[in-house]
């Protein structure tokens, strides 16, 4: 029996009413029945300052969002390093700024990653494009076969 | 040469607005406007939908105050199924009120800590890179942590009642669809997973102490900045005229406290209000018919509510209201005191949430009532930003045939324009150069109203604001755009 259960958060960002912008949420929808007790899911339209408090309660955090870049495999995973960014609105924070605030205010530094999934259509519409569905499928396969597998067998 | 000053977008507000200040060749302000440039047409496209969809559809007006629209529409739809607010079961009424207090609490916390406090803590002329909530978090982490947890507490109340923090569903025609469990309720009382409701009350008192101390040190600014006469409008309790946020009579006073709307039933609002229009804004200008467009407009929101009410039913908030009256006068027209009034309401909401959380009615199964079908319903509540009116008519096939929404920010349209003109006349007019601090003062004046421009125009997409200076020939001489 494990002494300590790693707490992992999957934080899906987007809006299912804007076509492929719903990729982050669709990823969570697809994963929710496959996850073990270490994982929690949260859905967000956009990141705000209180999300710094949220991620401070986890060991590992994945920010999952649609991406405008067209990645070769349809998705891209990279570490999310703390960075203070500036934008006209603090209602919509960059994941790196959320990590930066978590570290600065709460003195916590979870392992953080960004999983970007390539989207191609972002107009007002419910439903993900065929291309984005394929990218989502690739991202799910990758996550299940590597990250999830690793976590379960750890 | 005359000039035009443009602020585009206005920041730290909910929505996309634009300010233009027209100067003459002596740099004297000729006129100033707060333009709302979003358009959405929500009232139109809801027509034809079945009436029971209204509370779910209309909350998509906004990601900040969907609960307010959900509840106002829910109250209106109750009437379509034949039920006035008092006809609902007590548990349903109390669950809806708990949801409402959670919403107002989190919205006011968001506004004060995230949007307004940077101006108070850092000053008008601080570097804009620092003058935001991230700057507050870095320099005042203890304050920021409390702000975050207060907002979270309200959001978790919303999640408990409506299932989600944003765009959840609670109301159903004639009541609420979900009961609250003892375990769900106790989470807010025991302080194990979240700071308890008692802690929320304690922190609300602390932030009021901060505001009173700030007022002592900065009274010239808080008392004098954008102080101009206006009417004040809001709901009051039917039985005693006390502060009321969920269901009451409509009361308005003029700038001196004379009653101009005498506790009328909220469903009669249409007999007393007109909505004016201007070519330069999509936002309408509501006013009292019997007074007219020039003088019949009113402020709504925390300052108006604290002004017009006879008292507050919770003891700590009532004590604060009395202190507020002593500092600002019986009728207070000082725009910056809106922040102070907002904090009194935060405390009121916290006290009311405690009362409701400790009331076993909220864990009852008695959730829905039925009545006899009607063809029209009016739902009015006090949303965080002020009086919110939803009005629906339906045909015999249950389809909505008419929808009228008068949103809090719409009521405040004239007041915000007056605030912009006040700053233009008092801080910008005649100055040889328009500085960043002067521009920010325009935003500070607008920001006091916590406008939700998306709601008011019923808009979508990015939400910035802009300011521009225009000369007598229409040339833009200076402009601030934020995207």
Asked if the Cβ–Cβ distance from A50 to B63 is below 8 Å, we say no
Name every chain B residue with its beta carbon within 8 A of the beta carbon of A90: 12, 114, 132-134
pLDDT in tens, B210-235: 999 999 999 999 999 999 999 999 99
Please state whether the peptide bond connecting residue B9 to the residue before it is cis, i.e. omega within 30 degrees of 0. yes
Arithmetic mean of pLDDT over chain B:
88
| Mean pLDDT to the nearest integer, A102-131 | 93
pLDDT in tens, B83-107: 999 999 999 999 999 999 999 999 9
Predicted confidence band of residue B42 (pLDDT cuts 50, 70, 90):
confident
Predicted confidence band of residue B481 (pLDDT cuts 50, 70, 90):
low
Q: Of the given ranges (A95-99, A109-113, B21-25, B349-353), which has the lowest mean pLDDT?
A: B21-25
Q: Does residue B182 have a pLDDT over 90?
A: yes
**How much is the ipTM here?**
0.76
Identify which of B137, B166, B482 has the shortest CB distance to residue A101. B137
Name every chain B residue with its beta carbon within 8 A of the beta carbon of A104: 137-138, 141
Asked if the Cβ–Cβ distance from A105 to B464 is below 8 Å, we say no
Interfacial residues of B (vs A; Cβ cutoff 8 Å): 9, 11-12, 63, 114, 129, 132-134, 137-138, 141, 144-145, 148-149, 151-152, 155, 166, 460, 462-464, 482-483
pLDDT in tens, B257-304: 999 999 999 999 999 999 888 877 777 889 999 999 999 999 999 999
Per-residue confidence (pLDDT) for residue B458, from 0 to 100: 41
Q: Does residue B359 have a pLDDT over 80?
A: yes
Q: Does residue A114 have a pLDDT over 70?
A: yes
Q: Does residue B428 have a pLDDT over 90?
A: no
| Mean pLDDT to the nearest integer, B115-125 | 87
pLDDT in tens, B452-462: 655 444 433 33
Name every chain B residue with its beta carbon within 8 A of the beta carbon of A83: none
Show the domains of chain A with their CATH numbers.
8-153 (3.40.50.1450)
Percentage of chain B beyond pLDDT 90 is 62
Output the pTM of the full model.
Answer: 0.87
| Mean pLDDT to the nearest integer, B67-75 | 95
Q: Of the given ranges (B9-13, B65-69, B187-191, B217-221), which has the lowest mean pLDDT?
A: B9-13
Asked if the Cβ–Cβ distance from B134 to A50 is below 8 Å, we say no
Cβ-contact B123, B116 below 8 angstroms: no
Per-residue confidence (pLDDT) for residue B386, from 0 to 100: 95
Q: Is A50 on the interface with B (CB under 8 A)?
A: yes
| Mean pLDDT to the nearest integer, B479-483 | 56
pLDDT in tens, A80-90: 999 887 654 55
Which residues contact residue B409 at a Cβ distance below 8 angstroms, ignoring those fewer than 6 apart?
A: B15, B283, B385, B386, B449, B451, B452, B453, B455, B456
Percentage of chain B beyond pLDDT 70 is 89
pLDDT in tens, B45-59: 889 999 999 998 888
Show me where the domains of chain B are located: 1-37+433-445+455-483, 228-333
Per-residue confidence (pLDDT) for residue A37, from 0 to 100: 87
pLDDT in tens, B229-258: 999 999 999 999 999 999 999 999 999 999
| Mean pLDDT to the nearest integer, A46-64 | 93
Min Cα distance A89 → chain B (Å) is 7
Size of interface A-B (CB pairs under 8 A): 49
Picking from A11, A43, A50, A52 by the largest number of B CB atoms within 10 A of its own CB, the best residue to mutate is A50
Per-residue confidence (pLDDT) for residue B460, from 0 to 100: 38
Nearest C-alpha neighbor of B354 from the set B221, B222, B202, B209: B202
pLDDT in tens, B362-417: 999 999 999 999 999 999 999 999 999 999 999 999 999 999 888 888 899 899 89
Identify which of A49, A53, A84 has the shortest CB distance to residue B133. A49
3-state secondary structure chain A: CCCCCCCEEEEEECCCCEHHHHHHHHHHHHHCCCCCCCEEEEEECCCCCHHHHHHCCCCEEEEEEEECCCCCCCEEEEECCCCCCCCCCCCCCCHHHHHHHHHHHHCCCCEEEEEEEECCCCCCECCCCHHHHHHHHHHHHHHHHHHHHHHHHC
């Amino acid at each position: 029996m494990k002494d300590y259960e790693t707490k992992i958060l999957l934080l899906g960002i987007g809006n299912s009413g804007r076509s492929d912008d719903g990729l982050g949420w669709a990823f969570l929808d697809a994963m929710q029945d496959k996850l073990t007790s270490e994982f929690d899911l949260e859905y967000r339209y956009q990141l705000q300052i209180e999300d710094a408090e949220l991620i401070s309660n986890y060991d590992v955090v994945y920010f999952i969002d649609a991406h405008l870049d067209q990645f070769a495999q349809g998705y891209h995973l990279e570490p999310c390093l703390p960075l203070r960014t500036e934008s006209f609105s603090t209602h919509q924070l960059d994941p790196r700024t959320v990590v930066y605030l978590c570290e600065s205010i709460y003195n916590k530094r979870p392992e953080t990653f960004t999983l970007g999934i390539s989207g191609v259509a972002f107009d007002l519409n419910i439903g993900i494009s065929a291309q984005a569905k394929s990218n989502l499928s690739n991202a799910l396969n990758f996550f299940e076969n590597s990250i999830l597998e690793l976590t379960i067998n750890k | 040469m005359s000039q035009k000053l443009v602020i585009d977008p206005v920041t730290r507000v909910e929505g996309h607005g634009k300010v233009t200040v027209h100067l003459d060749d002596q740099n004297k302000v000729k006129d100033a406007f707060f333009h709302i440039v979003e358009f959405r047409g929500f009232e139109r496209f809801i027509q034809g939908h079945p009436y029971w969809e209204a509370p779910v559809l209309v909350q998509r007006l906004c990601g900040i105050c969907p609960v307010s629209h959900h509840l106002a529409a829910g109250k209106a739809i109750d009437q379509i199924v034949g039920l006035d607010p008092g006809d609902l079961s007590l548990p349903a009424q109390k669950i809806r009120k708990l949801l409402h207090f959670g919403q107002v609490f989190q919205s006011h916390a968001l506004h004060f800590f995230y949007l307004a406090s940077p101006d108070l803590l850092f000053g008008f002329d601080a570097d804009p890179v620092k003058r935001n909530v991230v700057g507050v978090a870095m320099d005042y982490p203890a304050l920021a942590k409390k702000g975050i947890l207060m907002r979270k507490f309200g959001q978790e109340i919303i999640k408990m009642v409506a299932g989600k923090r944003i765009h959840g569903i609670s109301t159903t025609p004639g009541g609420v669809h979900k009961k609250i469990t003892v375990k769900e309720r106790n989470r807010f009382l025991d302080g194990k997973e979240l700071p308890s409701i008692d802690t929320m009350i304690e922190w609300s008192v602390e932030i009021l102490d901060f505001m009173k101390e700030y007022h002592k040190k900065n009274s010239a600014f808080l008392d004098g900045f954008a102080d101009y006469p206006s009417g004040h409008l809001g709901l009051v309790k039917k039985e005693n005229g006390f502060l009321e946020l969920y269901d009451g009579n409509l009361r308005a006073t003029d700038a001196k406290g004379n009653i101009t709307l005498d506790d009328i039933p909220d469903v009669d609002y249409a007999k007393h209000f007109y909505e004016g229009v201007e070519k330069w804004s999509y936002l309408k200008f509501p006013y009292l018919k019997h007074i007219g467009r020039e003088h019949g407009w009113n402020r709504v929101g925390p300052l108006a509510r604290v002004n017009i009410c006879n008292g507050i039913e919770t003891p700590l908030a009532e004590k604060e209201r009395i202190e507020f009256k002593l500092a600002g006068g019986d009728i207070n027209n000082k725009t910056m005191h809106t922040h102070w009034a907002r904090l009194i309401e935060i405390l009121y909401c916290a006290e009311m949430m405690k009362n409701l959380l400790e009331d076993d009615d909220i864990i009852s199964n008695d959730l829905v009532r039925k009545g006899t079908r009607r063809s029209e319903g009016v739902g009015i509540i006090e949303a965080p930003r002020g009086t919110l009116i939803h009005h629906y008519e339906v045909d015999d096939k249950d389809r909505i045939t008419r929808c009228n929404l008068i949103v809090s920010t719409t009521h405040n349209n004239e007041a915000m324009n007056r605030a912009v003109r006040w700053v233009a006349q008092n801080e910008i007019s005649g100055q040889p150069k328009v500085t960043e601090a002067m521009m920010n003062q325009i935003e500070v004046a607008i920001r006091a109203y916590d406008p939700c421009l998306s709601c008011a125009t019923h808009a979508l997409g990015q939400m910035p604001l802009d300011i521009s200076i225009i000369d007598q020939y229409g040339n833009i001489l200076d402009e601030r755009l934020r995207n």
